[in-house]
Amino acid sequence: MVQDDEGGTRAAANATTVDADTEATAVVGGDGEGAVPFELPAAGYQLGSLIGKGGMGEVVAAHDQRIGREVAFKRMRKANAGGDALARFLREARIQARLDHPAIVPVYDLGKDEEGRPYFTMKRLAGKTLAEYLAERDVPRQRLLRAFVDVCLAVELAHQRGVVHRDLKPSNIMLGDFGEVYVLDWGVARVIARKRRQTGGMIADMVADDIDSIGGDATVDGALLGTPGYMAPEQVRGELDVGTPADVYALGSILFEILAGESLHPRGHAALASTLTMMGEEPAKRRPERGIAPELDAACASALQADPKVRPTARALGDRVQQYLDGDRDMERRRVLAREHLANARDALDSGDADRRADAMREAGRALALDPESTEAADLVSALVIEPPKQMPAELVGELAKVEADRARVRGRRAFSGYMTLLLLSAFLPFLHIEHWVPLALVYVCVAALMGVSWMTYRTGKIIPVAVLVGALVTAIAFSRLASPFVLVPVLMCGALLPITNIPWLNDRPWVVYLWTLLVAIVPLALEWTGVLPGTTGLLDGNFTLRSAIFGRAGTIDMAALVAANALFLLSVARFSLAIGRDRRDVLRQVTVQAWHLGKLLPTSPRK
């Protein structure tokens, strides 16, 4: 009987009787006086949890009570299964047992339980299927390619022994937790006629004729053997003589999925029509952004050829992948592909379409990656990186807008701190002779308004040029009341011009800046000459006189305040000028350093 994990007797559905000696006696110690007889443990399996099940069979975790190892226990789900199902089950066990390869799960035992259901035991695996790894999308490609090479060798062994798997797919490939790779589910395998083949000086026997192959094309009427999306065209067409190239096509489909990150064909029955129309697909063309090596691309395409006769063997396919992993490169093919990418880059650049500049950069970069010694590709990459385009692509315009917004925030913060320094002049107010408070209040209102505009720019990264120009002009008129339009105002407006000329919209329209500058110089005087504002300038006995529209009689403290204000304005202008100069120097240094590094990175050998 088979006991469950808790030690009790499992129900009849889980019970099994092994056709082996339940008792065996041996002698330890030879023929001498010290010989000790002992009994072998009873044969049988202690069943555990269900691992998986299909339409006809199920796999249960089990413990071999005689040997003491953990196994996978596969059995038919029904004792009275049909002859075809029973034959398929037994053939799977016998084929798998005779394909002795590290990537094919070894079979330990074959028998039937108390209910007459056949079973066989095999090595219990721990790991995940290739399909699960592909779904994760972050598994290193190199690891999957190494596993793929092992699968190719296992399939090649089966082919040498006269067995065609016919259902290779990612879910039938297991990657163990310790680096093992296994090809699973040999239930629909086809056995080719028995032969003897000379291989490397050794005789390799084909699978014996006592394992019958499934006749016809289907397990049941109207059902194709295999999985749509991985079946070869000849399988889809229902050809009777499906040979080893069908497995190679399936391997090509699996390799395509590893390289491209998506399946070759759509899922389900739509894959059948796609298989008959899509031939020799190259994963690099489907997913150019994944940087698929041309050696792997070509190997995959060769396995997906429509004509079975031109497909490579499973070993040849695996060898090509292994050669890539070992570092071998097909340099001539890489140069040919590089020239193609270079031609595509020039076509994109010559099209005049600004949005295709990104395509030109990608194509030129791929050309340089394929042929690092190509100075033509290097020259084009350098030109694309260093020389700005005459017309900006839409994507680049968006990126530049983000950069300008960041710079606007910096300018807004600096302007806000600059206007804050003007408030330091308030320390002189208690000591000054103020006659007209309204114009003085207007000065502070203008400063506060400009501080508000600067704060909004700092917070949002957006500049309203009209608000900046109007605010600065009104501020100039207000400050002209302090000591005429000829004192303080020119220095203040020079300081305002520094950030104003860095606003992109105004920088692109210099006439607006020139016009605004003339208005700042003329409007305060015009308002005085027309009598709108009290006059602050005049000529008397050959002397040019200036007066304040705010302060009364001038004293020592008044002159000190005027000198302090003038010095403060000049220091603010110097501060802004230094900041702008540093920004320009940093950008120039960054571009120069990048160009220098790019020049050292790219080849300088004579043009080929």
Per-residue pLDDT reduced to its tens digit, 136-156: 888 889 999 999 999 999 999
532 pLDDT band, cuts 50/70/90, is confident
d(CA 406, CA 538): 47
d(CA 475, CA 152): 81
How high is the pLDDT of residue 338? 80
Among 16-20, 209-213, 314-318, 535-539, name the most confident range.
Answer: 314-318
Return the active site residues: 167
How high is the pLDDT of residue 330? 67
How high is the pLDDT of residue 292? 87
6 pLDDT band, cuts 50/70/90, is very low
551 pLDDT band, cuts 50/70/90, is confident
DSSP, res 549? S
DSSP, res 208? P
DSSP, res 289? G
Residue 560 backbone dihedrals phi, psi, to 5 degrees: -65, -40
How high is the pLDDT of residue 30? 54
pTM over 0.85, yes/no: no
For residue 528, pLDDT over 60 is answered with yes
CATH 3.30.200.20 fits 44-124, yes or no: yes
Cβ neighbours of residue 86 closer than 8 Å, sequence gap 6 or more: 76, 118
Q: Which of 296, 305, 292, 314 is nearest to 150 (CA)?
A: 314
Q: Which of 571, 476, 486, 464 is nearest to 536 (CA)?
A: 486
d(CA 495, CA 492): 5
Mean of all residue pLDDT scores within the chain: 80
430 pLDDT band, cuts 50/70/90, is low
250 pLDDT band, cuts 50/70/90, is very high
Torsional sign, CA 88, 93, 94, 97: positive
Do residues 529 and 485 make contact, with C-beta atoms less than 8 angstroms apart?
no
Q: Which of 414, 442, 574, 562 is nearest to 495 (CA)?
A: 574
How high is the pLDDT of residue 2? 41
Q: Three-class SS of residue 190?
A: strand
How high is the pLDDT of residue 557? 60
For residue 173, pLDDT over 90 is answered with yes
For residue 469, is it left (φ>0), alpha (ψ between -120 and 50) or beta?
Answer: alpha
DSSP, res 422? H
Mean pLDDT value across residues 472-498: 84
Indicate the domain borders of the chain: 44-124, 126-190+226-312, 335-386, 394-601
How high is the pLDDT of residue 12? 35
Q: Which helix (H) or strand (E) holds 89?
A: helix 83-98
Largest CA distance in the chain: 149
Place of tokens 């129309």: 277
- Helices 394-422 and 556-601 sit at what angle, rounded to 10 degrees? 160
How high is the pLDDT of residue 314? 96
Angle at CA of residue 150, ends 149 and 156, nearest 5°: 90
Q: Which of 181, 305, 298 is nearest to 246 (CA)?
A: 305
CATH 1.10.510.10 fits 126-190+226-312, yes or no: yes
375 pLDDT band, cuts 50/70/90, is confident
CA distance readout (Å), 251 to 155, 263, 321, 326: 9, 12, 12, 20
